[in-house]
A = this chain, B = another copy of it.
């Protein structure tokens, strides 16, 4: 079932066609528009997008090295399935980087950084009160990205995202649980408090706790969506 949205999407972007197609397919995979295990036919994609096979091949090649698609030589290419060990791996990497980041930030934080984090948390509170869970999700992501960016290493936020692509995709499957946003907010507060207190150890601990619960909530997904997971 072709997705006409794709063709519109690549027209809105600019830059080389290959990169636009890469971005479009990547987004489609990450938000489960393209389901794990789904077979991607080059010819069909070209027809839907109205382009030739060259830029599509380039895009698929990059997605392959991202681990988002599996290319079976001379045969087919399909959207990669989840693997629990891989998800645990990404969780480990993500936690390693984010803990290191918050430790550094907690030690060196400026007043301005504190202000921006506080402002973000205020926003989170408002969004929860309004039950705008989509908005909360985005503010949540931004909170983490702010901390990563405050390390002074601009590419760290990109690297952290790149190393947890599967995690981000699996997160889309999580149903909004009653009370979970409030819990997350409380965890964010304890992170911010440790940063405010310039207590690196406590900040690292708080981030570790916060991230650790994500993988716990992801594990049961294997039962709910067995087709999305690699038979192992």
A61→B65 CA distance, assembly (Å): 11
CB neighbours of A99 from chain B (8 A): 96, 100
> Which 9 pairs of residues, A with B, have the shortest CB-CB distance?
A96-B100, A89-B153, A96-B97, A96-B96, A89-B155, A58-B61, A62-B65, A92-B153, A93-B159
Contacts of A95 in B (CB 8 A): 100
Q: Are B96 and A153 in contact (CB under 8 A)?
A: no
Contacts of A15 in B (CB 8 A): 73
For A66, the closest partner residue in chain B by CB is B65
Q: Which residues of A contact B (CB under 8 A)?
A: 15-16, 18, 57-58, 61-62, 65, 73, 85-86, 88-89, 92-93, 95-97, 99-101, 104, 151, 153-156, 159, 163
* Besides A89-B156, A92-B100, A93-B159, 9 new A-B residue pairs in contact (Cβ under 8 A), listed by A number: A16-B73, A61-B62, A65-B65, A88-B153, A89-B159, A92-B156, A96-B96, A96-B97, A159-B163
* A155 in contact with B100 (CB, 8 Å): no
In whole angstroms, how far apart are the Cα atoms of A120 and B65 in the complex? Answer: 31
Q: Inside 8 A of A88's CB, which chain B residues have their CB?
A: 153
Residues of B within 8 A of A16 (CB): 73
Residues of B within 8 A of A92 (CB): 100, 104, 151, 153, 156
A163: which B residues are within 8 A, CB to CB?
A: 159, 163
A93: contacting residue among B57, B61, B154, B156, CB under 8 A: B156
Instruction: Across the interface, name the chain B residue whose C-beta is closest to A155.
Output: B89
Of residues A73, A85, A89, A154, which shows the largest number of chain B Cβ atoms within 10 Å of its Cβ?
A89
CB-CB under 8 A from A89, the residues of chain B are: 153-156, 159
Q: Which residues of chain B come closer than 8 Å to A104, judged between CB atoms?
A: 92
A232 smallest CB distance to B (angstroms) = 13
CB distance from A26 to the nearest CB of B (A): 12
Note all chain B residues with C-beta closer than 8 A to A156.
89, 92-93
Q: Closest B-chain residue to A18, C-beta based?
A: B61
Residues of B within 8 A of A96 (CB): 96-97, 99-101
Q: Whose C-beta in chain B lies nearest to the C-beta of A89?
A: B153
Roughly how many angstroms separate A57 CA and B156 CA in the complex, as a whole number?
28
